[in-house]
Amino acid sequence: MDSDRDSKHQSVEHLEKGVDEVMTASSLGEERLAEERRLVRKLDKRILPIACLLYLFAYLDRSNLGNARLQGIDDDILNGDPKGILFDWINSAFYFSYILCQVPASITSKLFPPRVWMATAAFGWGLSSTLMATGFNFGGMMVTRISLGVFEAGFAPAIPLYFSLFYTKAEMGLRMAYWFGFAAVAGAFGGLLAFGIQHIQSPVQNWRLLFIIEGIPAILLSAFTIFLLPNRPESTTYLNEREREIAIERMNRATSGDTGATVNTAHIFKAFRDWRIYVGGVIYFGLNCALASTSAFLPTLIKDLGYSNARAQLLTVPPYAVTAVVLVMFCFVSDRLQTRGIPIALGGAISAVGYLLLLAVSNKRVAYFAMFCITSGTYSCIGLIIAWFAHNLGSETKKATGIPMFMAIGQCGSILGSHIFPKTDGPRYIKGFAVCCALEWLVVICAIVLTISYRWANARRDKLHGKPKPNAKVDTSEFADEAPDFRYMP
C-alpha cells in the first residue's frame, strides 16, 4: 500500500515536473520570439530608411533624362535631335557600364564593410549625376551617364545580398517591396520636382537645375550611410552581444552564412552553370525593357496624348503613386503565401494587358489607365524576382554572383527599351508597345516554368531525404542550394 502511495506520489511529482519544463520551454520560446521581433524592428528602423533613400536618389538620377527631355535638353545640346536617336543613346549608355560592372562589383562587395561600400557607391553616382549639369554636348553627357552606371552597379545588386544577411525568407519580400517601391516613389517625386523646376526663372537652364537638385542629395546621404548603416551581423556595433547572436542564428536559417569577408570560388562557377539564373535573366530582361522605356518615355507618351509639357510632368505622378501601393500589396501576399512565381506571373499578365490596351484602343483615358497597368505590373514583378533569388541560391557567394548575373542579363532589356520608342513612331508607338507586350507574356511563361521547377525539386528532395526541420541550419558550404536539406522558395 505504502509502495503504491509512494509510486503515485512520484508519478504526480514527475508529471508536475514535466508540466513545469513544458511551461518553461514555452515561456522561453515566447521570450525568444519577443526578442526576435524587437531585433527586426530595430533593424528596420536603421536599415530600411537608409536603403530606401539611397534607392530613391539612385533611381531619380538614372531616370531623370525623361523629365529633362521635356525641359529642352534636346534643343540645348543635341541640335534638336529630330529622330530622337542621340537621346536614346545617352539614355542607354548608363546600362552598358551598369551591365558590365554588376557581377565583379557584387562579388567584390563581399570583401568590404557594407557601409563603406554603399557610401562610396552613393557618393560616386551622386557626383556623376550632378556633373551631368555641366554637359554641353553629346560626348560629355555620354561620359557622365557611363560613370553613373559604374557606381550604381555597385549598389543595386548588393542590396538583396545585404538584406539576406538580416531578414528571413518570410520577411524578405515585403522589405524588398519597401526598397524597390522607392523606384516608383522616385517616378512620382521626379515628376513633381520636374514640374516645380519647370516654373523656375533662372539664367541656368531648367534641365541643368534638375540634375543638380537631384544629384547633390546622394552625395550628402553617402556621409550618413558610412556612419549609420549596420555592417554584417557578426561585426556590427549597432547590435549588442545578444542581438548579434540572434541575428547570426537568423542568417543561418535553412542555409548557412559566410563569416566575414570571404569568397567561395567554387560557388561562383556553380552560379554560372545554374540554368534557373538564366531563366531569371529572361524574366528580368522582359521586365526591364518595359521599365526602362517607361522611365525614359512616360512623360513623352503622356504628352503625346495631347497634354502640355508641364501637365505631362504632373500626370506622371499618379501611375507611380498607385504602383508603390500595388507593389507592397503583391509582396505582402507573396510573403504570406511563401510563393514568388505565381505573383510574378500575375503581375506580368497585368502589364501585358496594359500594352494590349495601348495597341488596340486610341481613347486617351483608356491609354492613361493602361499606363497604370504597365507600371503596377512591371514594378511589382521586379521587386518580387529580386526577393526570389535573394534566398534561392543557397550561399552568400552564389548570391553575390547569381543576383548580378540575372540582373546583368535583364539590363540588356533596358538597352532595348531605350531604343524602341523613336520620335518617328509617335504618337502610337506600335513597335515599342508590341515588343514590350510580347516580352511581358514571356515573363508570365518563364515565371510559371521556374515555380514548377522549384516545387518539383523540393518534392524530389522530400522524397529522397525526408522533410528537413523548419528553420534548421543547412550546411550549404559545399553544394550551395543543391544541398539535400535546402528547400527553395517556389
Domains in the chain: boundaries: 42-239, 265-489
CATH topology of 42-239 equal to that of 265-489? yes
- Compute the 3-state secondary structure of the chain and give helix, strand, coil in percent, each to the nearest 5: 80, 0, 20
Tell me, what's the pLDDT at 309?
77
For the ranges 3-17, 97-111, 464-478, the one whose mean pLDDT is highest: 97-111
Structure-block grid coordinates of residue 278: 538564366
Structure-block grid coordinates of residue 372: 497604370
**Residue length, the chain?**
490
Residue 2 has pLDDT above 50, yes or no: no
For residue range 58-85, list pLDDT tens digits in order: 988 887 887 888 888 888 888 887 777 8
For residue range 145-156, list pLDDT tens digits in order: 999 999 999 998
Query: How close are the terminal C-alpha atoms of the chain, in Å?
Result: 63
* 3-state secondary structure (DSSP) of residue 421: coil
CATH class given for the domain over 42-239: mainly alpha
Tell me, what's the pLDDT at 258?
60
Lowest mean pLDDT among 307-311, 459-463, 478-482: 307-311
Residue 18 has pLDDT above 70, yes or no: no
* 3-state secondary structure (DSSP) of residue 20: helix
Tell me, what's the pLDDT at 189?
79
**CATH architecture of the domain covering 265-489:** Up-down Bundle (1.20)
Tell me, what's the pLDDT at 347?
95
Residue 348 has pLDDT above 50, yes or no: yes
Rounded Cα distance, 44 and 286, in Å: 31
CB contact at 8 A, 70 and 160: no
Q: At what angle do helices 364-390 and 341-360 cross, to 10 degrees?
A: 160
